[in-house]
Amino acid sequence: MSEFLTRHCRDCHSGSKPKGGLDLSSPAVDFAETGNRLHWQSVLEQLESGEMPPEEKPRPPELQWREAVAWIRAGVDAEERARREREGRVVLRRLNRAEYANTMRDLLGVEVDLADLLPPDTSTNGFDNTAELLHTSPHLLRNYLDAAERVLDEAIASRPKPWLLKRRFDIKDERTVRPNGSVYRHVPDGVAIFAAWESANIRVTMWNFRSHARGQYRFRISAYAMQNEGRPVTFRVTAGTLKEVTEERLVGYFAVPQDQPTVVEFTEHLEPENRIRILAEGLPATPPQVQQVGAENYQGPGLVVQWVDIEGPLLEAWPPPSHRALFGDLPQERVERERYEVVSKQPLADAERLLTDFARRAFRRPVTPEDIQPFLARVRSGLESGRSFEQAMRLGFKGILVAPDFLFLREHGPRLNDFELASRLSYFLWSSMPDEELFRLATANQLREPAVLGGQVERLLADPKARAFTEHFTGQWLSLRAIDDTLPDRTLYPEYDDILKTAMLKETTLFFDEVLHNDLPLTHFVSSDFTFLNERLARHYRIPGVEGMDMRRVALPPDSHRGGLLTMGAILKVTANGTTTSPIVRGAWVLERILGTPPPKPPPDVEAIEPDIRGATTIREQLAKHRDVASCASCHRKIDPPGFALESFDVIGGWRTHYRATGEPRVIDGRRRRYWDGPAVEPGDVTADGRRFANIDDYKRILHEDPDQLARNLAEKLIAYGTGAAPSLTDEAEIEGIVRRAREKSHGFKSLIHEVVLSGLFQSK
């Protein structure tokens, strides 16, 4: 092996600046040491992929190459398997922020905002539930105590039953919609608004309403469009305290037809002291234009809001389910005028019974009397110090909510038991704790049976809680969480707005759900004849015949250049900055997220390319210098082709044949503009294995030819997300088994998820 490295590797990978940061001048052969094992694993990956030695260097004889690969793999695999026998593949894993909040919701039946207490989690391998990065600290544990206190305050019904608001609010009564000297006209049945919020922060805030208690509220808004040539008008609704921008969140977008009063209905969770706001969208006039002629005389389009019905908080029962989850049917007594407490005639016996039931659900496994003793001791100590029964029980409940068995997914392995498997499955597909059916099957030791486990996969995916899988998996696998990381330059891309962004995100998640729930082939992710659109997004894509704000499945015209994830606006937006696109960024994204063949990091001394937005040179011309450098060419041969294929789409996913150039204003087609057509886009290239394509349509056909690679990549991503640890080279055989079985089921996406769940990787620590 030493001779092989000397002859074929050490010339480049030694000295003060070894290529790629990989120093093979004196490689240690201690595979047991983690750093050395990763070092050799990197060597193995380079040899097996054919990246090394590079093309311009002499290739080793086939026999020597095979012997070197076999020697390294044997050493790496042997030590990795020995480590897994001792420790398992997945280290102790803490609940991440989303899993913690969802678990609190399902454990106690309350939704409490804890974002200020729990910081965002670090992401690696694309996912923020990777076990190795979910660290704890004294500060975080202090925050968990505060979070437990806040949740218990909300769950325990210590106040009288909140009164039910049920009232119709007339928009004319709101002080912000005065009829004189403004953009508002009072009409017989409501208030007409003639300027959109974008033009001058025009907004109808319902100051006459505020939520008096936390909970679900039902809203019914009656509105219609006027003077808009028969077309609908869109408005948005936001909610929050509305004191700051950060305290206002989007509820949704709604469209209403002209001259037909239409009731829009939705339910929203509100914190105390919340309000709602109604904002018209897309109206062309600015306030000065309306005020110049007077709102009473203005003839342009407007939105009429008639009234808003509000009912809430909506309660199933009192005391609420959250209270019963803690105290069952124990009675309450009034201790102050507006405060009640739970009482018990047998405090210690009741405490042991309640703590046992709560800990079973919180720890997601059966509990023993020994498990309960530390928490019962806290209750006993509280009672002896003069605390009331409820106050003492809070100490016990809080102790359970900060215990390692609650905060961590404790897996003993090497094979997961039924309760551990129930938790792994529910946190995979729900980002939350198991429900009673999973607990029942685990108690009966039936969950591991393939038919039973397959049935549970189907049940969990059909449950509304599976929205968490769609949201969190797509948000991280496809980088959708980065949608707001950049804001497109308004000079170059004035058509971008929040309505378009919202539709883009919905398109991707609705498409993902459609492929999943109908078990469609994975090839739909790269090439499909349908997508989900509303009127706003269809107009952006230049697809005719789609009207209204509702997203719906739409068959794509053959010449649309759309279909599949790569051509969706949300994907194209998150793989660009606010001004320009980069084939390197988009190409690397395709390799990593879709094909599972991420490129190596660029050398530190390579200068970044700044695209010329003034239109003098194209990105292809600027990249040519990189592609001509031998040390860069091997990577760019893989990265650039998918990036060039996507160059036909601009920063916000619009189709283009030319780059947008900018500079001093010009008059074009009678309009004064700050941008115009620059150099032509050249989307053709040659893949690393020599296949030539002319555009994105050709490139998608190339990807479509290898469904196994799409399945292999997604299997690895699902394992990483579902278990908290990415598979390694040692797991190749298991991954290939998953791919083979998925192939036998036509590469269906749901079938792939079933195969992942049934695999040894998923069912072992």
Q: How far apart are CA 171 and CA 223, in angstroms?
A: 11
**pLDDT per position as a tens digit, 670-688:** 677 777 788 899 999 999 8
Closest CA to 233 of 193, 183, 203: 193
**pLDDT per position as a tens digit, 374-413:** 999 999 999 999 999 999 999 999 999 999 999 999 998 7
- What pLDDT sits at residue 631? 57
- What pLDDT sits at residue 757? 98
Higher pLDDT, 602 or 675: 675
Give residue 136's pLDDT band: very low, low, confident or very high (50, 70, 90): confident
Give residue 35's pLDDT band: very low, low, confident or very high (50, 70, 90): low
- What pLDDT sits at residue 161? 93
**pLDDT per position as a tens digit, 298-326:** 999 999 999 999 999 999 899 999 999 99
Give residue 55's pLDDT band: very low, low, confident or very high (50, 70, 90): low
Q: Does 623 have pLDDT greater than 70?
A: no
Cβ(711)–Cβ(534) below 8 Å: no
Cβ(311)–Cβ(166) below 8 Å: yes
User: Helix or strand or coil: residue 114?
Assistant: coil
Instruction: List beta partners, residue 722.
Output: none
- The pTM (predicted TM-score) of the whole model is 0.87
Give residue 492's pLDDT band: very low, low, confident or very high (50, 70, 90): confident
**pLDDT per position as a tens digit, 538-566:** 999 999 999 888 899 999 999 999 999 99
Average per-residue pLDDT for the chain: 89
- What pLDDT sits at residue 664? 72
- What pLDDT sits at residue 322? 95
- What pLDDT sits at residue 576? 94
**pLDDT per position as a tens digit, 72-95:** 777 777 666 766 766 778 989 999
Backbone angles phi, psi at 278, to 5 degrees: -115, 125
Higher pLDDT, 303 or 56: 303
> Using alpha carbons only, how large is the chain's radius of gyration in Å?
30
Give residue 723's pLDDT band: very low, low, confident or very high (50, 70, 90): very high
- What pLDDT sits at residue 177? 87
Q: Does 605 have pLDDT greater than 60?
A: no
Q: Does 199 have pLDDT greater than 60?
A: no
Closest CA to 592 of 521, 643, 529: 643
Q: Does 711 have pLDDT greater than 90?
A: yes
Q: How many Cα neighbours within 13 Å face the side chain of 447? A: 25
End-to-end CA distance of the chain: 34
- What pLDDT sits at residue 358? 98
List, in order, residues 6 or more apart from 119 with CB less than 8 Å away: 97, 140
Backbone angles phi, psi at 628, to 5 degrees: -90, -10
List, in order, residues 6 or more apart from 101 with CB less than 8 Å away: 114, 118
Pick the range with the lowest mean pLDDT from 36-40, 270-274, 479-483.
36-40
**pLDDT per position as a tens digit, 242-296:** 887 778 899 999 999 999 999 999 999 999 999 999 999 889 888 889 989 999 9
Percent of the chain, pLDDT > 70?
Answer: 87
Backbone angles phi, psi at 564, to 5 degrees: 90, 170
Q: Residue 655 to residues 510, 651, 676, 698: CA-CA distances in angstroms?
A: 22, 10, 15, 16
User: Helix or strand or coil: residue 738?
Assistant: helix
